[in-house]
Amino acid sequence: MRRTTMVVVCTLALALCAGSAFAGTTPPPDTLKVDYFSGANTGGNPLAQLRVINPNTNTGNGICAAIYVFDSFQELSECCSCALSPDSLRTLDINLDLTSNPLTGKILNTGAIKIVSTPEVAGNCPLPTRLTPTAGVRAWVTHIQDNAYVTETASQDATLSSGEQTRLQSECYAIQLDGSGTGVCTCGVGD
């Protein structure tokens, strides 16, 4: 069993034994965005980017984009949380910000990105190990296709279940405990 998987299994077991604070609650709609990235970290290709905005739909407050980056084997590689003030734009480079510090040390070329909108905590965005899903974030990702053409798509809305919320938090917490600084992405530029 891979080290990352073992850490995740142990962390999830601890979370289940302790009881989940999220059991029985359903996160509100418009809190989870999903997308993919491809062609990252390959020579000669333009840089793929994630663009995230706060359209100011949550009463004029800043929010955080809790970002989870998965490899093509569905294992969490990196996680971070980035501040977005109302009407702001943040641009994250897939190569430099989201895939350059993987927990396993293996740089990713393809994978999935999940983004959860959550409020700031005392004006900050801590590592996304405790979420309070709040509607708001919008996101787009540029993709490097096999023929080196670049496409951009809006990230898709998905339903955030309480089980998925617990899993994302637990796996990011495992990275925080076991990573010694690896597995934490950075927030790019903007805001």
Distance separating alpha carbons of residues 123 and 166, to the nearest angstrom: 23
Question: Of all residues in the chain, what percent are helix, strand and coil, respectively (each to 5)?
Answer: 20, 30, 50
Distance separating alpha carbons of residues 94 and 76, to the nearest angstrom: 15
Distance separating alpha carbons of residues 30 and 36, to the nearest angstrom: 18
Burial group, residue 178, by CB count within 10 angstroms (0-12, 13-18, 19+)? middle
Helical (H) or strand (E) element with 16: helix 3-18
- Evaluate if pTM is beyond 0.95: no
Do 165 and 181 touch, CB atoms closer than 8 A? Answer: no
Six-digit token pair at 15? 């979370």
Name the β-bridge partners of 112.
36, 70
Do 166 and 15 touch, CB atoms closer than 8 A? Answer: yes
For the chain, 191 residues long, give each residue's pLDDT as a single digit of tens: 454 444 444 444 444 333 344 445 677 888 999 999 887 777 666 678 999 999 887 666 789 999 999 999 999 999 999 999 988 899 999 999 999 999 999 989 889 999 999 998 888 898 889 999 998 899 999 887 776 778 889 999 999 999 999 999 999 999 999 888 899 999 999 87
Please count the other Cβ atoms lying within 10 Å of the Cβ belonging to residue 45.
16
Cα 9–chain centre separation = 19
Domains and CATH numbers, the chain: 26-159 (2.60.290.11)
